A and B are shown apart, each in its own frame.
Chain A
Amino acid sequence: MDLINRYVYDVTRRLPERQRGEIEKEVRGLVADMLVERYGDRDASKAELEAVLIELGSPASLADNYRGSRRYLIGPDYFDRYVSVLKIVAGAVFLGISVALAVSYAVNPPESLITAFTRYFSSIVGALLQVFAWVTGGFAIAEYNREDAGKAATQETWSVAKLPELPGRAAVIKPIDPLINIGFNVVFIAILNFAPELFGSMSISDGQLSNLVPLFRLDILRSTLPIINVLFALSILKEVGKLYIGKWTMGLALGNIVLNASVLVLVALVFHPGAAIWNPDMMPVLQDIIPRFFVFAYGLGLVVDSIVSFFKAAKSTKSV
């Protein structure tokens, strides 16, 4: 009897909880019926029971049969795209961190080779784990919400008109593009988080280069870092979206515009001229010019990017 209990437990533990009770009763009934058919009403020996369970097959395969369709965290539909996005994002982050740390080491030489390597490897490992977690999480959500091909087909009839247009050459997003952008974003995130004093202006006094005057007030920068990191995260998210879709579509272009607009708002909030984050110790001339230039350049870049993406998308959807 103990053997049956263990068998039933091993089957049901693999199944959704609300089906367990009934399936347990079914499997117990089935084993009992098989025993009666083979050995009549007498109590079966342990070996006989074993033979019956062997015939029924492994608990894993019986549970598989009960489950019917398989459930995936990331199913065959998405898996190849998942792997390629993961590779590219991981590559970009790897490059970005390498560059950022190389820059910071060049400016602030580390105490020893060992500390330099330890910091490098721990940063890389930490960042790659983040990449893995976020990309996997994103695809898992996509898989969870995936339309079942069979179900969708019955709901609306498919027609050839629904075939997507071939993207025009201009609309194709080459993976190198997002890769470089993600790399840059990571370099900036890394420097801002680990060595913000690197952003600064030199001044010349007595014919000698004096110390760097930081652009930012480091205390304010530190307290604003979460917002700034969100900003970078949004940009990286955008690049991942471009990688994932692979061509400019209207939806992607509109999403791009919305993201760019929110980035612009955040930039203006944190970095507008006169904002607390700018270091008042900068030379007076720079104090006015740098913030203006910064916001203007950033804004112009975002606007140009939005317009270009919009036209690329419009071009690719128009050519029917």
Chain B
Amino acid sequence: MSKTDEVVDGILQELRRGVTILGVLSQLHKPEYGYSLVTVLAEGGLSVDASSLYPLLRRLEAQGLLQSEWDTNEARPRKYYSLSPLGREAYARLCGEWEAIVSAMERFSPVKGEHESGSY
């Protein structure tokens, strides 16, 4: 791995950490279990490792953004997560912040336009 790859990977990881939370919150207006969420996010183009998503869900629940329930009716017990009232409120505010960030970045660099500096 070249030096650039390493640096870019590190920054990308930090960027993804926040975006993943937004992605998760966006999908939990209705209950989902961990693995279904991995699939949904991947289909939407946001790939997340299950090994980091499951712990993330627990952390968001501990913060009060999510609520959970074990469904024991199926063959395998599954833990379903959904937004708590606090989570709904937080998500709505975060969406506003996210739009501000995106529009700022659009002003700084032509995200949607042509890449002036070329691609690497």
Query: CB within 8 Å of B: which residues of A?
Result: 23, 25-30, 32-34, 37, 56-57, 61-62, 65-66, 68
Contact = CB atoms under 8 A, between A and B. Distances in A.
A5 to B, nearest CB: 16
Nearest to B52: A65
A66 B55 contact: yes
A25 B77 CA distance: 8
Contacts of A62: 51, 55
A37 B39 contact: yes
Given A26-B54, A37-B39, A32 B76 contact: yes
B55 A30 contact: no
B59 to A, nearest CB: 6
B6 interface: no
A27 B39 CA distance: 17
Contact of A34 (B33, B35, B59, B70): B35
B12 to A, nearest CB: 17
Contacts of B52: 65
Contact of B35 (A33, A57, A65): A33
A30 B58 contact: no
B51 A61 contact: yes
Nearest to A19: B58
Given A56-B50, A61-B51, A62-B51, A29 B34 contact: yes
Interface in B35-64: 35, 39, 49-52, 54-56, 58-59
Interface string B11-22: 000000000000
B78 A29 contact: yes
19 contacts: A25-B70, A25-B77, A25-B79, A26-B34, A26-B54, A26-B58, A27-B54, A29-B35, A29-B77, A29-B78, A29-B79, A30-B35, A33-B35, A34-B35, A34-B50, A37-B35, A65-B52, A66-B54, A68-B55
Given A29-B76, A29-B78, A66-B58, A56 B35 contact: no
Nearest to A28: B76
Nearest to A62: B51
Contacts of A23: 58
A232 to B, nearest CB: 48
A57 B54 CA distance: 13
